[in-house]
């Protein structure tokens, strides 16, 4: 049931779990002692039992004066307090140790798997396992395992306490107890598969959410976000249905356990009554003399009363174990998933080192095939790259260039043939030797959230500021850094959202220069930089080649001209090698590709070119009213008070109120049944003693006791079903509203938000709301309703007991929770904030795992994660400590109230036997009544995180978007215009200042300029990602805020620098642009994007899975699928941001021709942003920024 490796993985946990079990057992012994003390006090009221006789009746001999009782009460209260306090602390300590150990081990495993981990686990799965998955195991260790041990000890201890009084009663109770374990075990064996599906649905929902979240800009651009929201709602609803299935399994088990528990208690009480009436003789004594052990001794009033008081406790630990059943199943399922990942074979490294100095790279008959493909990515590649040389690797997109570079960098493994670095086989190299020898800069090199300095120091931790500035200067990004007020300490947001594509790429180059490895690989490292920056970076590359082995993977053949050697790849094979002059003389594939440059030059303007057409400039107000200024966008709302928060949460219930009302009714009936079961047992005892209460005979009292035992389980089932049906419907609703909020905020307001944080919100934060909707509303109403019923019943028994009950319930249900809540102020918010930050940090590290391994920063980044985990541990320990203290206070109050109730019964009876019966019954009612109110007392510990989660969710829902899409105008396209537009991100220096620009009605407008000049920002303003601070942007003469958003997205579309591909098939990715497109339309779009032959060569064709983040495709292939998606969109205005930056010359020619065709066929307008002069050849007009 429990993977034993968990104990070996985290030393000391076993002792902590055992310690909690001992504390729980000590608390039980204290409860037994309390029941004995109360029995001693009350039994003296009956004529046949004196106090001393009562002591003898339960096997205890000793004095009975008031001082001794007071000392005993105090001792029991102190023991109960300490037992609860330390049990809580030990459980939390064990759970937090397990969490820290598992999280660290998962991170180490990711480091051992290397950057190719994404082929074995999805990033969202890893984030969820390190977050929610580890939390599930926390509950397993904190709650289930200690309760399992305690549930075994408790019945045996209670048996030992009751057996000396009356063996038949003890045997009946003990026989019923194992039935609960049988039920739990049977359900566990039959439902493991269901829980596996449940957890699978949960992680799938998180993965889809992450995918949609990261591609939300793309979804909104193609007006497909509503479809994604529908799918999100369907996923949430599927998860709700699966959760309800799991719940029904749990509720059926709880119902069966309640029937056994309360039925067993009734059977035990009934047996005790039988023994009392028949003077301790059993029915089978005469026929089976050897069973004489089950006879007597004679059971007196004190013994029966003791049995009544402890009978329910006999089954409570086992019943509590059953209530943790879902925790156990979730924990075990999560454990299996975590160990399935931990059991993946590690990346295989050798132990060879490399000599110092320059190193050559040699490949001989090198081959490689991706696990999910049957087609080799590399075939029989033989190539030598000498030390201190510059080798260019060229070829069409998808020819294997990046795969070859990744093999040299060690980012993928499992090659055939030979691949040697410095005459040492790569597979024989140690990890440190490999990572220190090779540095790679790719088109999507990851920058970590933090400061620029921290990112640079990853490559060389001891670098001085002068060295950092030198690297930035050589990467030609120092000017940008010097222009920033914070310089090297400027913040880099997650995914480097605050940097342009060119700036991000140049920072990555600077970091690689700091690493100073003898072998440097540049894989399309200049694809997003302007021409001048590219020229300067290429000068740096040539300088590096004088002392290092430099490999340049590029589509830009002009960059290959002056290299020492050129390797031409085609369909995974190296088909040509030589210098530029040699290859041109051969007239082979390289020569054909190079001549394709001329075809690019010749693509030029369209045949039958009608030129560029503009609409007449409309008269526009340059001050657009209603446009939010930055200060109003960022205005923070006053935080909600707890009362306002509760009122708002209750307001979400809406039409589901009948479920809430039914849950309260069923719950109240169930708790009344549980409380009155021992009360009717006492009434039966009083009737047997000749002093019936309320005129109930023994028969009627026993019958009512049996009815209570039977309806308790049914009422609990109905209450929990209604509660959770209500809660899970609302959770699905919250997920839908959250995604709707993200749709409103995207893309402008999502740029600075951590993706791990948002995943945590849609999973953990939303799930925490269940505590309020399922475990707060009805328990509060139930506690109030049952307290009123108990008080009324006590008024008919003895009014003073009603006063005692009300005071006790006010203390436990109102005073202690209020005090507890004040003591927890801010704890829940800190826990949720730190949990979200941890998720963000894990996600950020998983995205950049290749860089972490490459720069040897695994230990430091793990230490950073551990620090965050320990900080979170500290907050949880603080919560646990306070929970233990205040829970201990509850137990102290119960002990004191129980003894006071017994003293009331003694003092108020005055020898009147009728009064004695009523007072004893009232005392048992008071002692048994705390269940619903104790649930309230425990709420602050749970609600502190729930309320923090609710505030986070409402803050997201309430956040004002950068633009309000409330326009209603539906114009036809007649050009666009920007007039005197000034725009800045937040309070920074304006990116655009007083810009006036006309966008054509038809034709191609080109925009050129250095990186960071605002070209991409201009396109996003045309798409209304933001509104300008000054000036106006108009569509067909109408200011954008007044235009209907769906109309605008129908008229215009955009392809950004990063073509986002979703984790689905190629066809599903294409249909984001046109849901109704048939297969023929998809093929035509793929043909125009120059990728149809490649797609048709795949075994599954257009149904081939793209893979997470398009990771199974090369950069060029991803870009071409993004272009195909654009060609499917029947828009009037197409905005292209670097559409050919990662394409070879031939494919660039094809795509530029396709853009020409697009404009000619549809008489469309195109705004084309590119650094390439060749791309601008098709523009009818070029503007320089």
Lowest mean pLDDT among 199-213, 376-390, 1063-1077: 199-213
How confident is the model over 112-165, as pLDDT tens digits? Answer: 887 666 667 766 677 777 777 787 787 788 888 898 889 889 989 999 998 888
Q: In terms of CATH architecture, what is 361-598?
A: 3-Layer(aba) Sandwich (3.40)
Mean pLDDT of all residues in 17-36:
93
Lowest mean pLDDT among 60-74, 904-918, 955-969: 60-74
Q: What is the CA radius of gyration of the chain?
A: 37
Judge whether residue 365 has pLDDT over 70.
Answer: yes
The Cα 1143–Cα 1136 span in angstroms is 14
Q: Where in the chain is the domain with CATH 1.20.1560.10?
A: 5-344+653-958
Q: Topology of domain 5-344+653-958, per CATH?
A: ABC transporter transmembrane region fold (1.20.1560)
Could you count the other beta carbons within 10 Å of the beta carbon of residue 439? 24
Greater model confidence, 575 or 1098? 575
Judge whether residue 574 has pLDDT over 90.
Answer: yes
Can you say whether the dihedral through the CA atoms of 649, 651, 656, 658 is positive or negative? positive
pLDDT of residue 2: 61
The Cα 13–Cα 19 span in angstroms is 10
Q: Where in the chain is the domain with CATH 3.40.50.300?
A: 361-598, 963-1184
Judge whether residue 1053 has pLDDT over 90.
Answer: yes
Q: With cut-offs at 50, 70 and 90, classify the pLDDT of residue 845.
A: confident
The Cα 124–Cα 738 span in angstroms is 18
Judge whether residue 264 has pLDDT over 90.
Answer: no
pLDDT of residue 54: 42
Q: What contacts 448, CB < 8 A, 6 or more positions away?
A: 454, 455, 458, 492, 844, 845, 848, 851
Judge whether residue 575 has pLDDT over 50.
Answer: yes
pLDDT of residue 603: 63
Lowest mean pLDDT among 92-101, 630-639, 795-804: 630-639
> In whole numbers, what is the pLDDT of the chain averaged over residues?
84
Task: Read off the tokens for 687.
Answer: 């009737």
Could you count the other beta carbons within 10 Å of the beta carbon of residue 300? 24
Q: What contacts 475, CB < 8 A, 6 or more positions away?
A: 506, 507, 509, 510, 513, 537, 540
Whole-prediction pTM value?
0.78
Judge whether residue 622 has pLDDT over 80.
Answer: no
How confident is the model over 482-493, as pLDDT tens digits? Answer: 988 899 999 998
Q: What CATH number does the domain located at 963-1184 have?
A: 3.40.50.300
Judge whether residue 346 has pLDDT over 90.
Answer: no
pLDDT of residue 1160: 85
Mean pLDDT of all residues in 406-433:
90
Mapped onto helix, strand or coil, the DSSP state of residue 233 is helix
pLDDT of residue 290: 44
Could you say which DSSP state residue 963 is in?
Answer: S
DSSP-assigned states of every residue in 903-957: HHHHHHHTT-HHHHHHHHHHHHHHHHTTHHHHHHHTHHHHHHHHHHHHHHHHHHH
Q: Please provide residue 594's backbone torsions phi and psi, each rounded to the nearest 5 degrees.
A: -70, -40
Strand partners, 425: 420
Task: Read off the tokens for 869.
Answer: 């985990």
The Cα 754–Cα 57 span in angstroms is 67
Percent of the chain with pLDDT over 70: 88
């Amino acid at each position: 049931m429990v993977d034993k490796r968990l104990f070996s993985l985290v030393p000391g946990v076993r002792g902590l779990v055992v310690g909690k079990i001992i504390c729980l057992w000590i608390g039980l012994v204290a409860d037994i002692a309390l029941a004995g003390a109360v029995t001693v006090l009350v039994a003296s009221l009956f004529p046949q039992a004196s106090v001393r006789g009562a002591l003898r009746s339960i096997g205890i001999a000793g004095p009975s004066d008031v001082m001794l009782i007071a000392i005993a009460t105090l001792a029991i209260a102190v023991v109960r307090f300490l037992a609860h306090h330390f049990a809580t602390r030990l459980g939390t300590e064990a759970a937090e140790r397990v969490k820290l150990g598992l999280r660290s081990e998962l991170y180490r495993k990711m480091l051992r798997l290397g950057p190719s981990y994404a082929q074995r686990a999805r990033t969202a799965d890893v984030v969820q396992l390190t977050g929610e998955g580890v939390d599930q195991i926390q509950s397993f260790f904190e709650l289930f395992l200690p309760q399992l041990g305690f549930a075994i000890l408790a019945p045996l201890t209670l048996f030992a306490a009751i057996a000396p009084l009356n063996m038949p009663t003890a045997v009946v109770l003990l026989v019923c107890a194992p039935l609960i374990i049988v039920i739990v075990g049977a359900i566990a064996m039959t439902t493991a598969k269901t829980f596996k599906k449940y957890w699978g649905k949960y992680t799938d929902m998180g993965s889809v959410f992450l995918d949609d979240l990261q591609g939300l800009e793309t979804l909104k651009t193609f007006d497909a976000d509503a479809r994604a929201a529908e799918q999100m709602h369907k996923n949430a609803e599927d998860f709700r249905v699966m959760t309800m299935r799991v719940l029904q399994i749990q509720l059926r088990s709880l119902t069966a356990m309640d029937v056994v528990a309360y039925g067993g208690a009734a059977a035990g009480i009934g047996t005790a009554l039988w023994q009392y009436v028949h003077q301790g003789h059993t029915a089978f004594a005469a026929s089976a003399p050897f069973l004489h052990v089950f006879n007597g001794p004679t059971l007196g009033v004190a013994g029966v009363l003791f049995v009544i008081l402890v009978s329910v406790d006999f089954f409570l630990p086992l019943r509590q174990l059953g209530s943790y059943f879902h925790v156990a199943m979730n924990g075990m399922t999560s454990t299996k998933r975590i160990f399935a990942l931990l059991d993946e074979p590690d990346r295989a490294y050798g132990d060879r080192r490399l000599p110092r100095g320059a190193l050559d790279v040699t490949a001989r008959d090198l081959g490689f095939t991706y696990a999910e493909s049957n087609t080799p990515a590399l075939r029989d590649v033989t190539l030598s790259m000498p030390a201190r040389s510059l080798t260019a690797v060229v070829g069409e997109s998808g020819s294997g260039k990046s795969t070859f570079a990744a093999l040299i960098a060690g980012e993928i493994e499992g090659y055939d043939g030979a691949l040697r670095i410095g005459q040492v086989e790569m597979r024989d190299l140690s990890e440190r030797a490999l990572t220190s020898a090779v540095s790679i800069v790719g088109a999507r090199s990851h920058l970590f959230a933090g400061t620029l300095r921290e990112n640079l120091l990853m490559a060389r931790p001891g670098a001085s500021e002068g060295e950092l500035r030198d690297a930035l200067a050589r990467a030609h990004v120092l000017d940008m850094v010097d222009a920033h007020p914070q310089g090297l300490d400027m913040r880099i947001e997650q995914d480097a959202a605050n940097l342009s594509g060119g700036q991000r790429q140049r920072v990555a180059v600077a970091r690689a220069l700091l690493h100073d490895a003898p072998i440097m690989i540049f894989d399309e490292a200049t694809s997003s930089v302007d021409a001048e920056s590219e020229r300067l970076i290429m000068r740096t590359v040539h300088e590096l080649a004088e002392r290092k082995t430099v490999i340049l993977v590029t589509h830009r053949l002009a960059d290959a001209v002056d290299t020492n050697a050129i390797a031409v790849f085609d369909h995974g094979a190296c088909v040509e090698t030589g210098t530029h002059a040699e290859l041109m003389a051969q007239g082979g594939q390289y020569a054909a590709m190079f001549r394709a440059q001329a075809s690019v030059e010749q693509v030029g303007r369209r045949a039958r070119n009608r030129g560029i057409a503009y609409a007449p400039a409309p008269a526009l107000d340059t001050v657009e009213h209603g446009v939010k200024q930055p200060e109003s966008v960022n205005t923070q709302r006053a935080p909600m008070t707890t009362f306002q928060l509760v009122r708002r949460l209750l307001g979400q219930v809406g039409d589901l109120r009948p479920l809430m009302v039914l849950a309260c009714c069923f719950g109240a009936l169930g708790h009344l049944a549980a409380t009155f079961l021992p009360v009717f047992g006492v009434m039966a005892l009083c009737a047997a003693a000749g002093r019936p209460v309320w005129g109930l005979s023994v028969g009627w009292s026993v019958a009512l006791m049996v009815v209570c035992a039977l309806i308790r389980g049914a009422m609990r089932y109905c209450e929990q079903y209604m509660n959770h049906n209500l809660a899970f419907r609302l959770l699905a609703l919250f997920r839908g509203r959250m995604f709707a909020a993200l749709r409103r905020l995207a893309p402008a307001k999502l740029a600075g938000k951590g993706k791990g944080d948002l995943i945590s919100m849609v999973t953990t934060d939303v799930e925490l709301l269940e505590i309020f909707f399922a475990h707060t509303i009805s328990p509060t109403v139930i506690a109030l309703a049952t307290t009123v019923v108990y008080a009324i019943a006590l008024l008919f028994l003895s009014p003073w007991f009603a006063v005692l009950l009300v005071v006790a319930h006010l203390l436990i249900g109102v005073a202690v929770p209020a005090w507890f809540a004040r003591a927890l102020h801010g704890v829940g918010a800190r826990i949720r904030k730190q949990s979200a930050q941890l998720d963000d940090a894990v996600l950020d590290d998983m995205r950049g795992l290749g860089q972490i391994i490459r720069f040897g920063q695994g230990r430091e980044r793990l230490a950073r994660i551990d620090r965050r985990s320990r900080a979170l541990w500290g907050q949880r320990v603080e919560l646990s400590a306070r929970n233990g203290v205040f829970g201990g206070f509850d137990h102290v109050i119960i002990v004191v109230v129980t003894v006071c109730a017994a003293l009331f019964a003694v003092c108020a009876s005055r020898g009147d036997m009728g009064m004695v019966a009523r007072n004893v019954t009232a005392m048992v009612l008071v002692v048994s009544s705390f269940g619903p109110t104790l649930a309230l007392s425990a709420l602050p510990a749970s609600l502190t995180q729930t309320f923090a989660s609710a505030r986070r969710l409402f803050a997201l829902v309430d956040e004002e978007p950068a633009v309000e899409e409330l326009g209603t105008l539906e114009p036809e396209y007649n050009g666009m215009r920007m007039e005197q537009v000034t725009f800045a991100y937040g309070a920074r220096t304006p990116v655009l200042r007083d810009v006036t620009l006309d966008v054509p009605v038809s034709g191609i407008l080109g925009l050129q300029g250095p990186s960071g000049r605002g070209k991409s920002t201009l396109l996003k303003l045309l798409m209304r990602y933001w509104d300008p601070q000054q000036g106006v942007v108009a569509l067909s003469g109408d200011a954008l805020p007044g235009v209907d958003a769906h109309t605008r997205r129908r008229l215009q579309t955009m392809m950004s620098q990063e073509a986002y591909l979703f984790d689905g098939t190629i066809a599903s990715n294409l249909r984001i642009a046109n849901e109704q497109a048939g297969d023929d339309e998809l093929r035509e779009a793929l043909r125009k994007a120059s990728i149809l032959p490649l797609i048709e060569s795949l075994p599954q064709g257009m149904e081939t899975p793209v893979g997470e983040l398009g990771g199974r495709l090369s950069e060029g292939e991803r870009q071409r699928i993004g272009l195909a998606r654009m060609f499917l969109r029947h828009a009037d205005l197409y905005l292209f941001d670097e559409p050919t930056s990662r394409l070879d010359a031939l494919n660039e020619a094809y795509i530029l021709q396709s853009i020409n065709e697009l404009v000619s066929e549809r008489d469309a307008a195109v705004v084309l942003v590119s650094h390439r002069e060749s791309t601008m050849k098709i523009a009818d007009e070029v503007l320089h920024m």
